[in-house]
Amino acid sequence: MTDYSKLFDLSGRRALVIGGASGIGRASCFGLASFGAHVVCADLNLAMAEEAARAIEAEGRSAEALRVDLRDGQSVEAAARRVGVPDALVVTPSINVRKPLLDLTDEEFDRVIDLNLKGAFRALRAFAPGMAERGKGSIVAFSSIRAQVVEPGQGVYAATKAGALQMIRALAAELGPKGVRVNVVAPGVVETPLTQQIKQNEAWWRAYGEKPMLKRWADPSEMVGAVVFLCSDASSYVTGSYLLVDGGWTAADGRFDPPLPKREA
């Protein structure tokens, strides 16, 4: 008989979180550790990754830090040799250049593609084969609502997010028979270093906060439930999914609430 109380238990498992020094990645490190996983906080910023690992250990959990640069294939391969085959891999890093599409330079275009799309590919290529050989594992990559809906200034960023989604779905199909699950989490508006530009413009920030059905921005901690779910046995039959955690952003139609009759008392 299944013990449902242990569906989210990650005791004895290792989780590698790339982008674990800040924002959603850092919150994911704490969340996975809270459910018993040994967490490897990997990031380009080693000092911040080490601080996150120390903070987790201060709570009585198990963690370590690792430097990795998703833009450098050799760095990713070195991380794979050091970590080995994790039970769960979470990939969060992204950058954005907010400009009209036709104003982007080749360098800007390549920079966004290299991290958001090719960086995710490098991580998958380094860690997924070991999971497939072992016959078990969970991979969680972060996309965005921008894989589905766009706005001016988001052309190349949205292209990387849509591309990552389709790449992940293809990998899910390829690795499903080998026992490896591969899923995508798609946040809406989350208060992270990536969205600081928006926060500096009060009207922009307020408009984004009004768009979701929940009428507010998300905190990085609100992405953790999706990550823990997808890394745990609670999602043992979930793969190839695009899990929206957007406060209802993509389900709402338009930016105007039509006048409706008042409900009678």
pTM of the model: 0.94
Q: 22 Cβ partners below 8 Å, 6+ apart?
A: 43, 45, 48, 192, 193
pLDDT tens digits along 7-21: 999 999 999 999 999
CATH numbers and ranges of domains, the chain: 11-246 (3.40.50.720)
The token duo for 40 is 């490897």
pLDDT tens digits along 31-81: 999 999 999 999 999 999 999 999 999 999 999 999 999 999 999 999 999
- If you average pLDDT over every residue of the chain, what do you get? 95
Q: Is 97 a residue whose pLDDT tops 90?
A: yes
The total of other beta-carbon atoms located within 10 Å of residue 12's CB is 9
Q: N- to C-terminal Cα distance for the chain? A: 50
Angle between helices 224-231 and 23-34 (to 10 degrees): 50
Distance CA 102, CA 70 (A): 27
The token duo for 114 is 């290299």
Give the active site residues: 157
Q: pLDDT value at position 220?
A: 95
Angle between helices 73-83 and 120-134 (to 10 degrees): 30
